[in-house]
Amino acid sequence: MSERPVVFMFSGQGSQYVGMGRELYDYEANFRKWMDRLDQTFRELTGHSVVERLYPYRESGRKPFEELLFTHAAIFMVEYSLAQTLAERGMIPDYVLGYSMGEFAAGAVAGVMTADDGIRCLVKQAELLQERCVPGGMIAVVGDPGIFESSPPLRQHAELAAVNFRSHFVLSARRESLPVLEQHLLDKGAAFQRLPIPFAFHSSWIDPAAEAFRDFMSTIRVEQPRIPYLSSRRSPRAGMRGAADYWDAVREAVDFPEGLARLEEGRHYTYIDLGPSGTLANFVKYNVSSHRQGDIVAIMTPFGNEMDRIDALCDRIS
């Protein structure tokens, strides 16, 4: 497996949950060091702690984890900290791939921006969305994305936010439209899930925050990536065009199969999902041939055992 180029993948909103990365935080010193360092940056900006929200001393069941200010930063923090943990063990990716706001973690790992600036960007983005955009949400649908084009009720109330594989897509809509969409999908017999996301990412409903966020991004120093940078929304070999490109990361629609197909032209890769839920690993599995499943690895899941997965991965890559 080590002969194939390694792609680190970073997922975005919807993959988060309370306690993600807890085993790593408790037992992996480098992961904990980076989490605490980035949490200090978050504290300085907001007066709050992500770590305290993410790893409460007393947990009562599966608490919802949806408040954007915290989830935005938390996803970035666990993904970046895991990347640094792997780097300490000598595992450096040949490529990084970002999906939606996961592009911030991908960019920081690639050296496009500092990790502290990544936190600053995501805090500002969350604040602007909360101040300027109507509440919304996203619904993942199991089915042919063509359902959207052929369904006037879906087109009337939603926008197509993402296509993840040939039988899975995501809709974005205003909050009040979500029950309408869900009822229509029920009537059609489609399987779906409302994602724990309070805004309609990858849709025109977040446009009111665009100008202010681009203005803020112009204050962030953006470098050329030291590691080739791939995106789930453009030709996968296209690098960042500049600071303003990071608004497009959460605004442009995602076409995961198209990006992956272009990347895979003429060569195969090893895909390592650094997101909290293994979401992108699942997407890749549905987009490549079945004999490639051993080349797709997820480290964090809601079921733990991250330390064992890291050890096994390092043995295979070394």
Active site residues: 100
CA dist., res. 252 & res. 232, Å (int): 10
Tell me the backbone φ, ψ of residue 38, rounded to 5 degrees: -70, -30
Q: In whole angstroms, give the CA distance from residue 169 to residue 136.
A: 17
In this structure, is the dihedral angle defined by the CA atoms of residues 89, 95, 97 and 102, taken in order, positive or negative? positive
Angle formed at CA 60 by CA 127 and CA 105, multiple of 5 degrees: 35
Tell me the pairing of strands 191-194 and 136-142.
antiparallel
- Residues 170, 127, 256: CA angle, nearest 5 degrees: 25
Which run of H or E residues covers position 246? helix 245-251
How many Å apart are CA 256 and CA 251, to the nearest integer?
15
Residue with tokens 């962030």, as numbered in its chain:
220
CB 209 within 8 A of CB 227: no
The 8 Å CB, 24+ separation contacts for 286-293 are: 286/164, 286/165, 286/166, 286/167, 286/168, 287/165, 287/256, 287/257, 287/260, 287/261, 288/260, 288/264, 292/268
Measured CA distances, 278 to 20, 123, 155, 293 (Å): 11, 24, 30, 13
CB 284 within 8 A of CB 257: no
